[in-house]
């Protein structure tokens, strides 16, 4: 049985996986384990899981295990996602919409991304977690030149990111190569690219019909430039399946892109059902039937790894 199937369902059990603490957390006195504001344990045993790295992600892919990714924007949710077994935490610029109340991601600044990346990295470090942290380069922080992208990526890497993400294809290829050659792992993002929502005319499916050829060409060029991951957002399932086959060195991570990608990502607030509006078709509320955020995130990991989420008949085009 794969390790992920045996992941414990709650954080206190999770803490007992690694080199055992002197006593299980559940039996420690209130004075020894209480932390204020309901956040994180003050220390935890060194996890027996290996830190996630690019070689580890390649291993997962080679053995046909799906890669799981969720967004997180603060220390506590990041630590919980890590404890649930989520391999990659994306500090997405979606935080502009879910944390800052902006109408789109266009208004997010690099300083805001730095602050949230640092918070997430601290949360993961605080519980000696293993997640791979991806910092999203915001609108205006990489479009000018590869040199500007390098300066912005440096800010996020120094805040604790292991990789940066940037949106778009074509002109971004040169920037991706420039960053990768300088030792910065890059995740690309094609399909619905929210920073260009105004140019795209709304949150619509991309890569249909004739547009598929362009998307295919851009994806191949991004892999050649060294992108190690590629988010495919709102792309027809058949196209993302084909791209996944064509991109052995660049792991496709789908969101509204069907089940046949190398991995999946969702915005945390969406998958926890924290949404007063109508959820997009590709979202499942993983809080349904669960009594904690940790169980909901564990259910997400289980559903992605077992192939029950996404369901192409419900969550894809």
Interacting residues toward ligand KIV by CB under 6 A = 71, 90, 92-94, 136, 231, 233, 255, 265, 267
Nearer to ligand KIV, 71 or 76 (CB): 71
CB of residue 216 to ligand KIV, shortest distance in Å: 20
Q: CA-to-CA distance for 133 and 144, rounded, in angstroms?
A: 25
Task: Name the closest residue to ligand KIV (Cβ).
Answer: 92
CB of residue 108 to ligand KIV, shortest distance in Å: 9
Q: CA-to-CA distance for 89 and 68, rounded, in angstroms?
A: 9
Cβ neighbours of residue 13 closer than 8 Å, sequence gap 6 or more: none
φ and ψ of 92, to 5 deg:
-80, 150
Nearer to ligand KIV, 265 or 297 (CB): 265
CB of residue 90 to ligand KIV, shortest distance in Å: 6
CB of residue 116 to ligand KIV, shortest distance in Å: 11
The answer to whether 313 and 97 are in contact (CB under 8 A) is no
Nearer to ligand KIV, 195 or 290 (CB): 195
Nearer to ligand KIV, 111 or 291 (CB): 111
Active site residue 233: yes
CB of residue 93 to ligand KIV, shortest distance in Å: 5
Nearer to ligand KIV, 241 or 267 (CB): 267
Nearer to ligand KIV, 41 or 258 (CB): 258
Q: CA-to-CA distance for 223 and 177, rounded, in angstroms?
A: 9
Specify the length of the chain in residues: 317
Catalytic residue among 87, 233, 242, 245: 233
CB of residue 91 to ligand KIV, shortest distance in Å: 8
Q: CA-to-CA distance for 235 and 242, rounded, in angstroms?
A: 11
Nearer to ligand KIV, 253 or 287 (CB): 253
CB of residue 63 to ligand KIV, shortest distance in Å: 24
Orientation of helix 110-126 relative to helix 75-83, angle to 10°: 50
CA–CA–CA angle 92, 70, 264 (5° rounding)? 110
Residues acting as catalytic residues:
233
């Amino acid at each position: 049985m794969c390790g992920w199937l045996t992941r414990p369902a709650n954080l206190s059990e999770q803490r007992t996986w690694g080199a055992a603490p002197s006593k299980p957390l559940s039996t420690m006195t209130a004075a020894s384990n209480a932390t204020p504001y309901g956040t994180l344990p003050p220390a935890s045993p060194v996890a027996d899981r290996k830190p996630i790295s690019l070689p580890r992600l390649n291993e997962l892919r080679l053995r046909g295990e799906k890669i799981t990714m969720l967004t997180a924007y603060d220390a506590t949710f990041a630590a919980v996602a890590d404890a649930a077994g989520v391999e990659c935490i994306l500090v997405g610029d979606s935080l502009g919409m879910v944390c800052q109340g902006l109408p789109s991601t266009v208004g997010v600044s690099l300083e805001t991304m730095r602050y949230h990346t640092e918070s997430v990295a601290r949360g993961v470090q605080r519980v000696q977690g293993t997640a791979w942290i991806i910092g999203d380069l915001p609108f205006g922080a990489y479009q000018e030149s590869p040199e500007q992208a390098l300066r912005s990526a440096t800010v996020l890497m120094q805040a604790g990111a292991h990789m940066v993400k940037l949106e778009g294809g074509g002109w971004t290829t040169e920037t991706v190569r420039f960053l990768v050659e300088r030792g910065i792992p890059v995740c690309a993002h094609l399909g619905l690219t929210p920073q260009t929502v105004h140019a795209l005319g709304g949150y619509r499916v991309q890569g249909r019909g004739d547009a598929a050829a362009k998307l295919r060409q851009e994806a191949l060029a991004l892999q050649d430039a060294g992108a190690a991951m590629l988010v495919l957002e709102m792309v027809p399932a058949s196209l993302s399946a084909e791209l996944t086959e064509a991109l052995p060195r660049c792991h496709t991570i789908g969101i509204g892109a069907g089940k046949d990608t190398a991995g999946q990502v969702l915005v945390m607030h969406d998958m926890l059902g924290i949404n007063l509006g109508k959820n997009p078709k590709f979202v499942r509320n993983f809080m349904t039937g669960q009594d904690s955020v940790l169980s909901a995130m564990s259910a997400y990991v289980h559903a992605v790894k077992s192939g029950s989420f996404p369901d192409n008949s419900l969550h894809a085009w």
